Amino acid sequence: MPSSDLVRVYDLLIEGGTIVDGSGDPGFAAAVGVRDGRIEVVHGDTAQAPAGRRIDAAGMVVSPGFIDLHSHSGLTIFADPLHEPKVRQGVTTEVIGVDGLSYAPISDPADLEALVLMNAGLDGAPDEAEPYDWSTIEGYLDRLDALRPSLNLACLVGNSALRISAMGWDEIEPSPAQLIDMRAMLREAMQQGAIGLSSGLDYPPGSYADTDELVELSRVAARLGGIYHTHCRHKLGDRSLDPFKEAIEIGRRSGIPSHITHFYQRVGSQAGAEQLLGLVEDARDEGLDVTFDTYPYEWASTRLLIMIPPWVQAGGPSRTKERLADRAVRDRIRREMAERGVLFAGRGAWDDVRLGAFRTPDLLRWEGRTLGDLIDERGDDAVDVLCDLLLAEDLRVNQVTPGPWSETLREFIRHPVGMIGTDSTFVGARPSPRSYGSFPRVLGQFVRDEALLSLEEAVRSMTSAAAARLGLSDRGLVRDGYMADLVVFDPDRVRATCTYEDPCRFPEGIEWVVVAGEPVVADGVHTGARPGRVLRRS
């Protein structure tokens, strides 16, 4: 090391490790110095370099912090700013406002309260001392910045929020004036720091938007440098390829970079992994900017309300509850479920629906048990049990169900265009294990144990590829001048320990996590530090 470097005082110096810098290039030996929250890669002997704190990373890998492209912590983080399920995985930045379900911009406080209730089975509705008193993206992001969580957050604008503010909760097409209003709200939200537009086309009222409406909104986001991040319309057309064709078409017509979130082959899909991935490859060959993320577990999770047809949910939570109590509505739901093959003799698929997030004292004993168990005890029709349960719990129930088909999941994990989005939920006693173990599972099982992809390529997909997708120009690489969001892990020990039966277990082998130059995990234990910030679109 040149003598001039010896006088440089580092706040933090990570020595003796192998740097896997996030570019996909082979790892190399060097130290990482941190000054004022920024990285300096230091070659040569650092024994005499002055440092406020030193980390011995011998035998370990030093990489950029992991970036999670899909998280449902937009409300729960107010109650848990330490956010250990994610930070302990090495996640230093995560994306919220996903699935069209951002909590701003919403102008009417009553509508915000209604959206929190409607979506509580997915995003939670934590009790906090201060009310949800924002109406704009700027107000929401300011509240998050004041919270100072342990990791960074980037926020999308959900199309449900835009629809609610412009035209309410009904299943209608927007008038020209209402479309102008939505476009204006989106433009303002992005000018206030949002990174793009999200849609959740299985979640009303955002699911009521047609392709043309989404194209018009995407054009606004595209002009401001944003992305279109979509939970596709899974009931569209053939329910296999058509949902993803729509996402690509929106990008084609609007000129926006399209990101398909939680992309995988579903159990029972008529299209295989080769066909699904071929859609993305063909679009990219055409010159379109299309990417995707996948979560590396076989278990999905969302609000139980997703099992109820969208027309039942029109008008918001009050109208939904009125319909759920109506016998004629239940008969129609029963007929529609039968036509879709959801209802059949015996418990069948209901055994695969694990329930969570109960609040009613009489129902707490069902936490972590299945809908099949509840149907058996009640001895009633499945639709009646489902509707009664949602009414008793004020719509707030969460479900964990089978998700990606395990036989083809690896094809998505190792694809060069793919990234990681945990789709993590933080409600209920037994969430999907993806919430606690996604990134360590990739590093431990898929990289080390199965050699599915190289360590360098896995780190690239979890860091620089994700940063580039989000437009974060100074994160995702271990490079001079970049923000010091870093992970130090043991490549021989790193592994996820959580399972379907025991999902709330922290991983092993993630030894240090640094956010903006400050350790938030030290020797595998959370330090209590909260240096995170909101990453606003510049």
Residue 487: strand, helix, or coil = strand
- Last residue within a domain, chosen from 356, 385, 402: 402
Residue ranges making up the domain that contains 380? 303-402
The pair of three-digit structure tokens given for residue 38, joined into one six-digit string: 């920024």
Residues 182 and 126: beta-carbon distance below 8 Å: no
Q: Are residues 259 and 119 in the same domain?
A: yes
Closest alpha carbon to 441 in 475, 413, 401: 413
CB atoms within 10 A of CB 371: 25
Q: Is residue 504 part of a domain?
A: no
Q: Is residue 327 part of a domain?
A: yes
Residues 379 and 413: beta-carbon distance below 8 Å: no
Q: Are residues 255 and 381 in the same domain?
A: no
Q: Are residues 370 and 465 in the same domain?
A: no
Residue 337: strand, helix, or coil = helix
| Furthest-apart CA atoms within the chain: distance in Å | 83
Residues 538 and 190: beta-carbon distance below 8 Å: no
pLDDT for 346: 45
What's 99's domain CATH number? 3.20.20.140
pLDDT for 519: 98
**Cα-flanking dihedrals φ and ψ of residue 326, to 5°?**
-90, 125
pLDDT for 2: 43
Q: How many residues does the chain have?
A: 538
Give the C-alpha distances (Å, rounded to integers) separating 239 from 152, 242, 244, 294, 334: 35, 6, 9, 18, 20
Q: Are residues 223 and 357 in the same domain?
A: no
pLDDT for 523: 97
Residues 71 and 424: beta-carbon distance below 8 Å: yes
Residue 489: strand, helix, or coil = strand
pLDDT for 343: 54
Q: Is residue 450 part of a domain?
A: no
Q: Are residues 375 and 421 in the same domain?
A: no
Q: Is residue 250 part of a domain?
A: yes
pLDDT in tens, 384-427: 999 999 999 999 999 999 999 999 999 999 999 999 999 999 99
Look up the pTM and report it. 0.96
Q: Is residue 293 part of a domain?
A: yes
Q: Are residues 151 and 179 in the same domain?
A: yes
**pLDDT < 50 regions, the chain:** 1-6, 344-346
Q: Is residue 503 part of a domain?
A: no
Q: Is residue 295 part of a domain?
A: yes
End-to-end Cα distance, the chain:
36
Q: Is residue 215 part of a domain?
A: yes
- The verdict on whether omega for the bond into residue 81 sits within 30 degrees of 0, i.e. cis, is no
Q: Are residues 134 and 243 in the same domain?
A: yes
Please tell me the total count of domains within the chain: 2
Q: Are residues 187 and 329 in the same domain?
A: no
Q: Are residues 423 and 387 in the same domain?
A: no
pLDDT for 4: 45
Q: Which amino acid is at 75?
A: L
pLDDT for 3: 41
The pair of three-digit structure tokens given for residue 206, joined into one six-digit string: 């955002």
- Last residue within a domain, chosen from 474, 507, 531: 474
Closest alpha carbon to 63 in 444, 413, 457, 447: 457
Q: Are residues 74 and 219 in the same domain?
A: yes
Q: Are residues 149 and 177 in the same domain?
A: yes
Q: Are residues 281 and 396 in the same domain?
A: no
